[in-house]
Amino acid sequence: MKSEGRARRLHTFLLLAAGLGAFLFRVPLLSQRPMHTDEAVHAVKAGILLDEGVYTYNPYEYHGPTLYYFSLPFIALSGAESFREIPNEAPLRIVPVLFGTALVFLLFLIRDGLGRRATLCAAVLTAVSPAMVYFSRYYVQEMLLVFFTFAAIVAVWRYTRAKKFPWALGAGVCLGLMHATKETSVIAYGSMLAAALLTMAWTRYIDHRQLRVRDYIHHWHAAGAVKVALVVSLFLLTAFLSNPAATWDAVRTYGFYLSRAGTGDSSTHGPALHLHPWHYYLQMLLFFRSGPGPGWSEAFILLLAALGLIFALRRKREGEGNIYLHRFLAFYALLMTAAYTLIPYKTPWCLLGFLHGMILVSGIGASSVYGRLRKVWLKGLAVILFALASCHLAAQAYRAGFVFPADTRNPYVYAHTSTDLLNLVRRTETLKQLHPQGDRMVIKVFAPESDYWPLPWYLRKFENVGYWSGVPAEPEAPVLITMPALEEKLGARLHRSYRKEFFGLRPEVLLMVYIEEPLWDRFIESRAGPSEPGT
């Protein structure tokens, strides 16, 4: 009994260490990487909520409001009272950091079903997976969706253990938060339901045992959970009932998203940008190398997941954990992988949903392999190999997050903002110090199809910035930012003298900055004195 207590305390300590390690791995230098277009769009949406107290669900774009609402406390902690005052990216990116870290701590509530070894292995892999680390530092909805999905699974598991309504209530809240986070939650809903049905069918086939729903779930508890999910989702999507039209918008949005799923169209960068072959995600995870860059691979997770799938489906009740939960997770991960693989629309962060499922099943695989080893030296060797592979994943995660955070040689970097854009931002900061109007200096931005993001984030502290998808009739201003495609039309409408500079927006996409001649002269004179801030 005492040895069992010590083992449990040790396991708790190691899980806590994994969670702390996950946080410390994710939180440094959150402002180092330039804002991706999608991150900047969401930052501006959060800014509108902060400044105006308004959220309006858009059935065509942007997803649900949970990311924005969870950002408000951290913006307040930064001392900012308005969008313009947000000091940097950290108060925003800390939100996915915390949810990505919390995935590890959620494992405490399911370790009796996974088994201690599987739980610990899953915790380590969650903490060091390059994709999980990289996108835990990305201001998009995906990490929140993964967390709420896993929390729903955990709540249902706990409910089946005790059949207490608070766990059903918690499951309903999490299911509602999933939908209020992102429309793709329906993929997880379908995968969870199908996985439960397949678990029942497979268990009847291989164990000759019938799993009856009524033995695990009271129907009125299930009905209550569904009602809670609907209330939570609609309450958030309608902005606390202030926009009832969002109820219908949340339904008709799927017509639009189904269309984009097949065409791969990007709302910001053009048609078919996100159209990728079925093996796009799997190839990225198995092995990726771009030009002279380093190699990347999370094949260790995929290998263990394959073993976990085999053990969950082939073995009967043996070893650690609950075989029915193992089978459910195996089917869930398999179905999520199949769904995201078959959908033509693909962006790297969308792989997180099925990758997290794979990580859970990887824990089962690692635990099952260890449990079947009979010799002590083989068990020791297995632990060493797992530790080495985890260190290899951690090294890649560090490289992705801190060495190649915006470099195309990183497999998770996707249509990302160039680091050269930060030079443009520094230039505007220098120019405003030289202009008599300071923050009120006028800046005009022209880009075809409004392809100027993430500039609205970086120019948020300027009071007089205008954005156009073409050249307006009167384009003159101290600073103009445009693209080569509009150069000829802009030049025909300019009457003042300007100097031009070029900065990278994204790979192979340039911005042109026109600086009015008198302001340019003051800038050159300032260079002869103290160094330019930020250089």
Segment 119-163, tens digit of pLDDT: 999 999 999 999 999 999 999 999 999 999 999 999 999 999 988
The whole-number average pLDDT for the span 506-514 is 94
User: Average pLDDT in the 477-483 region?
Assistant: 96
Look at residue 533 in the predicted model and tell me its pLDDT.
47
Name the band, by pLDDT with cuts 50, 70 and 90, for residue 318.
Answer: low
Q: Return mean pLDDT, the chain.
A: 93
Can you give the pLDDT at residue 5?
80
d(CA 504, CA 424): 9
* Nearest alpha-carbon partner for 103 in 178, 154, 173: 154
Share of the chain above pLDDT 90, in %: 85
More confident residue, 250 or 268: 250
Residue 534, pLDDT > 50, answer no
Angle at 398 between CA 68 and CA 410, to 5 degrees: 80
Structural tokens at position 471: 């050249």
- Give mean pLDDT, residues 107-111: 97
List, for residues 420-440, the tens digit of each pLDDT value: 999 999 999 999 999 999 999
Token readout for 4 is 């069992």
pLDDT of residue 213: 83
Position with higher pLDDT, 240 vs 291: 240
Task: Please report the pLDDT score of residue 341 as a whole number.
Answer: 96
Q: Are strands 443-446 and 465-468 parallel, antiparallel or unpaired?
A: parallel
The predicted-structure confidence for 330-349, as pLDDT tens digits, reads as follows 999 999 999 999 999 999 99
pLDDT digits (tens, 9 = 90+) for 298-315: 999 999 999 999 999 986
Q: Could you give phi then psi for residue 506, rounded to 5 degrees?
A: -145, 170
The residues pairing with 270 across neighbouring beta strands, listed in sequence order, are 266
Report the residue count for the chain: 535
Among 87-101, 312-326, 504-518, where is mean pLDDT lowest? 312-326
pLDDT above 60: residue 186: yes
pLDDT in tens, 253-279: 999 888 887 765 555 555 667 889 999
Q: What are the phi and psi torsion angles at 502 (to 5°)?
A: -120, 140
Structure tokens at 159: 């409910």
Cα gap 87→457, rounded to integer Å: 11
In the predicted model, what is the mean pLDDT of residues 10-27?
Answer: 96
What are the pLDDT digits (tens) for 201-247?
999 999 888 888 888 888 899 999 999 999 999 999 999 999 999 99
Entry pTM:
0.94
Q: pLDDT digits over 111-131, tens only?
A: 999 999 999 999 999 999 999
The DSSP code sequence of 142-176 is: HHHHHHHHHHHHHHHHHHHHH--HHHHHHHHHHHH
The separation between CA 479 and the C-alpha centre of its own chain, rounded to angstroms, equals 34
- Collect all residues with Cβ–Cβ distance below 8 Å to 368 and sequence separation of at least 6: 307, 308, 311, 315, 319
The Cα 142–Cα 477 span in angstroms is 39
355-410 residue pLDDT tens: 999 999 999 999 999 999 999 999 999 999 999 999 999 999 999 999 999 999 99
Higher pLDDT residue, 105 or 529? 105
Cα(141)–Cα(191) distance, integer angstroms: 19
Q: What is the SS3 assignment for 88?
A: coil
If you average pLDDT over residues 509-519, what whole number do you get? 96
State yes or no: pLDDT of 473 exceeds 50.
yes
φ and ψ of 467, to 5 deg: -125, 135
Q: Could you tell me which residue, 503 or 317, shows the higher pLDDT?
A: 503
- Cβ proximity of 134 and 412 under 8 Å: yes
Peptide bond into 405 cis (omega under 30): no
Tell me what percent of the residues of the chain surpass a pLDDT of 70: 96
As a whole number of angstroms, the distance between CA 128 and CA 333 comes to: 19
